Amino acid sequence: MRFTPKCPTMRQMPFEQRDYFRSHATSSLFARMRWWSITTWLIAINIVVYLADVVSQRNLFQWGYFSAETAIYHLQLWRFITFQFLHASVTHILFNMIALYFFGPMIERYLGPRRYLGFYLLCGISGAVMYLLLMYARVPGFVAYVPLIGASAGILGILIAAARIAPNAQVMLLIPPIPMRLRTLAWIFIGIAVVTIIAQGSNAGGEGAHLGGAATGFLLITRPQLLRIFDFNWWRRPPRGPRISNWR
């Protein structure tokens, strides 16, 4: 006679181990979102913030845009971050998110998720800092009360980093559809920014922020060790002395 151990009944089995729970959790949206890349999260957050801003009749814009008057004179320092997730129009966010979709994964794979997120935010912050520097240098078109919004500074930092990593990679412009090297595309954007600032164009302030993001992107991709702080465990040192393995 053979003894068969009693199988646990459904009532005794923990809820999370039941088959129907596992299949439902695996197929759920939240389970899939756990594996999103940082680039995917950034795109999703930007879209959600834009839609919420439109629905709220631009209340988020009033709370989050960057200007010297709000961020510096009134010490609303959160605006160095929040302005990066606000956009003025559908075309504004569309072209920014397309660029982030195509070039962001390259830098994310190169730096790793944590350093990449720090890289992106620092490039955006540098855009605001560059605006302040040009304003204090009394460059025409840069004034304290003008609002600054958009992810362009962070994205241009990503583009410059991508051009540094793979300068000869072929890319195709959307409008017009012209193939060119990635390094050429990066120089075109830098040239547009410089010419717009000199000519006092309508978006001179935004182009100044682009230059700030580009400069920081080049610095950080050239010296990625500066991003070690975003690893969260950079202060941990390996144990001193030789390791002694367990022996029997």
Instruction: Give the integer Cα–Cα distance in Å for 123 and 125.
Output: 5
Residues (pLDDT < 50) of the chain are 1-5, 7, 10, 15-16, 20-23, 25-26, 239-248
CB 69 within 8 A of CB 144: yes
45 within some domain: yes
Amino acid 120 reads: Y
What's the pTM? Answer: 0.80
Q: List the beta bridge partners of residue 170.
A: 181
Contact indicator for 152, 213 with CB cutoff of 8 Å = yes
Domain membership of residue 203 (yes or no) is: yes
Tokens standing for 248?
A: 């029997």
Range of the domain at 60: 36-231
- For 120-149, the pLDDT digits (tens) are 999 999 999 999 999 999 999 899 999 999
Distance of alpha carbon 97 from alpha carbon 39, whole angstroms: 10
Task: Using DSSP, state whether 148 is helix, strand or coil.
Answer: strand
Count how many domains the chain has.
Answer: 1
In a domain, 58, yes or no: yes
CATH of the domain at 108: 1.20.1540.10
Give the CA count within 13 Å in the CB-facing half-sphere of 246.
0
Distances, alpha carbon 195 to alpha carbons 95, 189, 192, 203, 206, in Å: 21, 10, 5, 11, 13
Rounded Cα distance between 61 and 231, Å, is: 32
109 within a domain of the structure (yes/no): yes
Residue 17 lies in a domain: no
In a domain, 30, yes or no: no
Contacts of 98 (CB under 8 A, 6+ apart): 174
What is the distance between the alpha carbons of residues 231 and 98, in angstroms, rounded to a whole number?
Answer: 27
Amino acid at 47: I
Q: What is the pLDDT of residues 71-108, one digit of tens each?
A: 999 999 999 999 999 999 999 999 999 999 999 999 99
Is residue 77 a part of any domain in this protein?
Answer: yes
Report yes or no on 73 lying in a domain. yes
Tokens 């559809």 identify what position?
A: 177
Mean pLDDT of the chain: 85
C-alpha span between 136 and 123 (Å, rounded): 20
Tokens of 192: 């547009």
